[in-house]
Amino acid sequence: MAKSVNWGILGCGKIAHKFAQDLMKVPDTQLVAVASRSKEKAKDFGRQYGVSNCYGSYEALVNDPTVNACYIATVHPFHKEITMLCLNHRKAVLCEKPMGMDQEEVKAMIQRAKEKDVFLMEGIWTRFIPAVGKMLGLIQSETLGDVRSVHADFGFLGDQDRSNRLFNKSLGGGALLDIGIYPLYLSLLVLGYPEDVEAAAQMTETGVDESCGMILRHRNGAVSSLHCTFMTDTQIEGWIHGSKGSIKLHSRFHHPNKVSIYRGGEIEQTYNIPYIGNGYYHEILHVNECIRLGLKESPKVMLNDSLNLVKMLDEVREKIGLVYE
The pLDDT tens digits of the residues spanning 310-325 come to: 999 999 999 999 999 7
- The pLDDT value recorded for residue 2 is 62
Confidence at residue 178, expressed as pLDDT on a 0 to 100 scale: 92
Is residue 216 a contact partner of residue 196, using CB atoms and an 8 Å limit?
A: yes
Tell me which amino acid residue 95 is.
C
77-127 confidence digits (pLDDT tens): 999 999 999 999 999 999 999 999 999 999 999 999 999 999 999 999 999
pLDDT digits (tens, 9 = 90+) for 228-283: 999 999 999 999 999 999 999 999 999 999 999 999 889 999 999 999 999 999 99
CB 222 within 8 A of CB 192: no
Q: What is the pLDDT of the chain when averaged over all its residues?
A: 95
- Residues forming beta bridges with residue 148, ordered by sequence position: none
Q: Is the pLDDT of residue 1 over 50?
A: no
Of the candidates 10, 60, 62, 1, the residue with the CA atom closest to the CA atom of residue 29: 1
Strand partners, 50: none
Cα(237)–Cα(90) distance, integer angstroms: 39
Q: What is the pLDDT of residue 165?
A: 80
Quote the CA–CA distance of 237 and 251 in Å, as a whole number: 5
Q: What is the pTM of this model?
A: 0.95
pLDDT(5) > 50: yes
HSE of 162 in the Cβ direction (CA atoms, 13 Å)?
Answer: 7
Residue 217's beta-bridge partner residues? 196, 223
Q: What domains, with CATH codes, occur in the chain?
A: 5-124 (3.40.50.720), 130-274+309-320 (3.30.360.10)
Q: Report whether 25 contacts 275 (CB < 8 A).
A: no
Averaged over 21-50, what is the pLDDT? 96
- C-alpha to C-alpha distances, 71 to 5, 41, 42, 182, nearest whole angstrom: 12, 17, 14, 19
Distances (CA, A) of 169 to 52, 177, 208, 318: 35, 11, 6, 15
CB 254 within 8 A of CB 283: no
Q: What is the DSSP string of 285-303?
A: HHHHHHHHTT-SS-SSS-H
Dist CA 237 CA 138 (whole Å): 17
